[in-house]
Amino acid sequence: MKQLAVYILLVFFCLTSCANKENTSVSSPDGSIRVQAGIENGKVYYTVDKKDKAILNKSFLGFVLKDGELGKDVTITDVKHSSFSEKWDQPWGEEITVDNTYNEMTVDVQENGGLKRKFSVVFRIFNDGIGFRYVFPEQENLKDFVIMDELTEFALAGDHKAWSIPTSTLYFENLYKPSPVSSLDTVCTPLTMETKDGLYLSIHEANLTDYAGLNLTPENGTTTLKAYLTPWSTGEKVFAKAPSVTPWRTMIIADKAADLLLSRLMLNLNEPSKIKDTSWIRPGRYIGIWWGMHMEDYSWAQGPKHGATTENTMRYIDFAAKHNFSGVLVEGWNFGWDGDWTKEGDKFSFTKAYPDFDLKKITEYAASKNVKLIGHHETGGATQNYENQLDSAFALYQKYGVSAVKTGYVSPLLDHKERHSSQYGVRHFRKVIEAAAKYHIMIDNHEPAMPTGLQRTWPNLMTQEGFRGQEYDAWSRDGGNPPEHTTILPFTRGLAGPMDFTPGTFNFTNKVFPATHVQTTLAKQLALFVVLFSPLQMASDMIENYENNSAFDFVTSCPTSWSKTIVPEAKIGEYLTIVRKDRDSENWFVGGITNANSRDLSLPLNFLDKGAKYKATIFKDGEGADYKSNPYPVEIQEMEVTAETVLNAKLATSGGVAIRLIKL
């Protein structure tokens, strides 16, 4: 990732160990957030407060290793302080420039007896929250070791309202439900909370590298959350070797819900890009031979309904070229889909196409239309089979100009034994990302480990699943995603990174599961292209359902990478409005959505350039729109506006509004 030329680096070190040990607190650059560290009963702890109000009470740290506990009888040997500030640019994202300013405190500790093993805790304090991680230095008595449990605590100062999904959720695909912290089960992160004082907190992790994914569990019905790492099938959590570091444990601390969405704390806690030339990494909007499989018009496997045929793919390419889509995703093109591939994923070939799919002809045709074929690698969870073919599979795609691949891992366990967010899974996913980068291929990872900001380091990791997406509106036996779902996702899973939700379903009739359908209005489907960020954004429906629909004009014009993001209003589970500026023009786009309750939106356009005029095209719920009985009406209105204009719109039940603002 390109770094700005100017860095401001201020480092302050105390000169004596005695003075260091007395200075065990650090504050955010604006002074509002403070972290204090200390020792109690031989264990290291930390506390967090904001504006003198407790956020975390004494929260203890440490590990259970295979050969005993690390951190139960320790002394602080040194404390170091420093400060850092930089601005860095993203090759794609919700804005171009990210401010990375923090104060840091490193607390060195050592066991008082026994092996006298050492570790450090590094705290980084930003204006919008904190991050900390453990560092294991090189030492004689801690070389190869096994972590059986991480004892990190978050002793919350109140029984906050929390939105969560249980750790037992397959692929993280569940509905986030609110409940008091004290009544939580073991849950996934991000865990987002609202305090009685009106603050918003979200606990997650950053830079998950060669480690197990973080989960949280309340201690005996209290508000103290303890780390629970996803284990290996054999019970161990992490196989480690010093010197090494853990992922960052993070907490966003925001004054309002909207500020959660603007935090870049997690990105800042990842390393700068390892890809020097990112010119080949290009966001885009695409369509796919996909929804037709869910509607059973097509099949993934060979047969009379096979969707991934040369003829059908070329038809989709023609549509993409006509409507300015950058790519076409094709699932089911390769051998291995016959039979129960969720149990026999090792039968997948990633280089051998079905006889009715001519990869060379298709990619040449796509290139002539300025469209890219988007590749697909469903593994059925057979990671060893996939790793054995990684180089040949990516080399084949590179040969034919395929620069983006959707990967999938539809199986409860990887290789029939390990969980997706275990250290085993984390290692595999990283191997795929790095291998793809060698071949200049972008990755859209489905059924992943929970994202942790690695797109800063590997910006070819464009987007991921790891949540309940629009596909549930095709086949979920509970009827589909409820109206409030997309008013919660940005504040929970969305804080972990881009979401390949695949909005844009225009036909709500489901002939396969008639009781299941998209539980929004059509206008809300349009708004989701702005609200749910993904640099690779798929319009989900079959192309037949887009023809001759004037609302489709918003989809074809909406960018997928932005220079600026604003959140004028937000209430978790109820409504959300997001304003984004196109990265490649002076134009703005707005998405506003609501839950099952209709509401009136009033949007001041004070973010526009003063003195300039814009053409506003407003796609809003039409007369009589209702997500249950009449989801289709969309009213399209055009007007000239300025920064002084206030736009008003009536949002229907589970409705929305999408606005395009073109600078004149």
Based on the fold, state whether residues 126 and 64 are members of the same structural domain.
Answer: yes
Based on the fold, state whether residues 181 and 211 are members of the same structural domain.
Answer: yes
Q: How far is CA 249 from CA 211, 216, 237, 240, 434, in A?
A: 12, 11, 16, 18, 24
Pull the structure tokens for residue 297. Answer: 């018009």
Asked if the structure places residue 502 within a domain, the reply is: yes
SS3 string of 59-113?
A: EECCEEECCEEECCCEEEEEEEEEEEEEEEECCCCCCCEEEEEEEEEEEEEEECC
Contact 652, 623 (CB under 8 A): no
Q: Please list, residue by residue across 605-635, b when 16 or more beta carbons sit within 10 angstroms of its beta carbon and e when fewer do.
A: beebeeeeebebbbbbbbeebebeeebbbbb
Q: Which of 111, 418, 471, 484 is catalytic?
A: 471
Asked if the structure places residue 446 within a domain, the reply is: no
Based on the fold, state whether residues 389 and 492 are members of the same structural domain.
Answer: yes
pLDDT, tens digit, 9 for 90 and up, residues 335-362: 999 999 999 999 999 999 999 999 999 9
Please report the DSSP string for 217-250 in residue order: EESTTSSEEEEEEPPPTTS--EEEESSEEPPEEE
pLDDT-derived band at 647 (thresholds 50, 70, 90) equals very high
User: Domain range spanning residue 18?
Assistant: 8-268
How far out from the chain centre does Cα 349 lie?
Answer: 29
Torsion over CA of 155, 158, 161 and 166, rounded to 10 degrees?
A: 20
Does the structure show a pLDDT above 80 at 11? no
Q: Can you give the pLDDT at residue 19?
A: 38
Beta bridge partners of 105: 81, 123
Asked if the structure places residue 660 within a domain, the reply is: no
Based on the fold, state whether residues 223 and 313 are members of the same structural domain.
Answer: no
pLDDT-derived band at 221 (thresholds 50, 70, 90) equals confident
pLDDT-derived band at 20 (thresholds 50, 70, 90) equals low
Whole-number Å distance between alpha carbons of 313 and 320:
10
Say what percent of the chain tops pLDDT 70: 97
> Across the chain, what does the average pLDDT equal?
96
Asked if the structure places residue 507 within a domain, the reply is: yes
* Mean pLDDT value across residues 628-650: 98
Does the structure show a pLDDT above 70 at 496? yes
Based on the fold, state whether residues 176 and 310 are members of the same structural domain.
Answer: no
Beta bridge partners of 376: 406
Does the structure show a pLDDT above 80 at 233? yes
What sections of 93-238 are H helices per DSSP? none
How many C-beta atoms lie closer than 10 Å to residue 89's C-beta?
14
Based on the fold, state whether residues 294 and 212 are members of the same structural domain.
Answer: no
Pull the structure tokens for residue 331. Answer: 């699932």
Asked if the structure places residue 662 within a domain, the reply is: no
Does the structure show a pLDDT above 50 at 239? yes
Asked if the structure places residue 614 within a domain, the reply is: no
Does the structure show a pLDDT above 60 at 9? no
Contact 355, 311 (CB under 8 A): no
Of the candidates 307, 398, 427, 397, the one whose C-alpha atom is nearest the C-alpha of residue 356 is: 307
* Mean pLDDT value across residues 14-21: 42
* Mean pLDDT value across residues 250-262: 98
pLDDT, tens digit, 9 for 90 and up, residues 78-125: 999 999 999 999 999 999 999 999 999 999 999 999 999 999 999 999
pTM of the model: 0.96
**CATH number of domain containing 185:** 2.70.98.10
Based on the fold, state whether residues 164 and 298 are members of the same structural domain.
Answer: no
Does the structure show a pLDDT above 80 at 14? no
Instruction: Give the Cα-Cα-Cα angle 62, 67, 72 (nearest 5 degrees).
Output: 30
Based on the fold, state whether residues 214 and 301 are members of the same structural domain.
Answer: no
pLDDT-derived band at 16 (thresholds 50, 70, 90) equals very low
Contact 77, 109 (CB under 8 A): yes
Strands 144-150 and 63-65: antiparallel
Based on the fold, state whether residues 236 and 344 are members of the same structural domain.
Answer: no
Whole-number Å distance between alpha carbons of 313 and 366:
9
Contact 309, 358 (CB under 8 A): no
| Active site annotation includes 471 | yes
Q: Give the end of a domain, one of 268, 302, 336.
A: 268
Asked if the structure places residue 442 within a domain, the reply is: no
Of the candidates 123, 138, 145, the one whose C-alpha atom is nearest the C-alpha of residue 63 is: 145
Contact 467, 533 (CB under 8 A): no
Contact 92, 69 (CB under 8 A): no
Q: Give the end of a domain, one of 506, 533, 557.
A: 557
Asked if the structure places residue 581 within a domain, the reply is: no
Based on the fold, state whether residues 153 and 27 are members of the same structural domain.
Answer: yes
Does the structure show a pLDDT above 90 at 150? yes
* Mean pLDDT value across residues 484-498: 98
In total, how many domains does the chain have? Answer: 2
Close Cβ partners of 492 (under 8 Å, ≥ 6 residues apart): 163, 164, 165, 176, 190, 192, 202
Close Cβ partners of 335 (under 8 Å, ≥ 6 residues apart): 347, 348, 349, 352, 353, 354
Q: Can you give the pLDDT at residue 34?
A: 98
Based on the fold, state whether residues 403 and 288 are members of the same structural domain.
Answer: yes
Q: Give the end of a domain, one of 215, 236, 268.
A: 268
Of the candidates 358, 407, 427, 421, the one whose C-alpha atom is nearest the C-alpha of residue 536 is: 407
Instruction: Give the Cα-Cα-Cα angle 536, 413, 419 (nearest 5 degrees).
Output: 80
Based on the fold, state whether residues 264 and 321 are members of the same structural domain.
Answer: no
**CATH number of domain containing 505:** 3.20.20.70
pLDDT-derived band at 21 (thresholds 50, 70, 90) equals low
pLDDT-derived band at 3 (thresholds 50, 70, 90) equals very low
Of the candidates 458, 391, 383, 494, the one whose C-alpha atom is nearest the C-alpha of residue 428 is: 383
Whole-number Å distance between alpha carbons of 551 and 523:
8
Backbone torsions φ then ψ of 12, nearest 5 degrees:
-120, 125
Say which amino acid occupies 649. Answer: A
What sections of 338-422 are H helices per DSSP? 359-368, 383-399
Whole-number Å distance between alpha carbons of 357 and 330:
10
Beta bridge partners of 353: 334
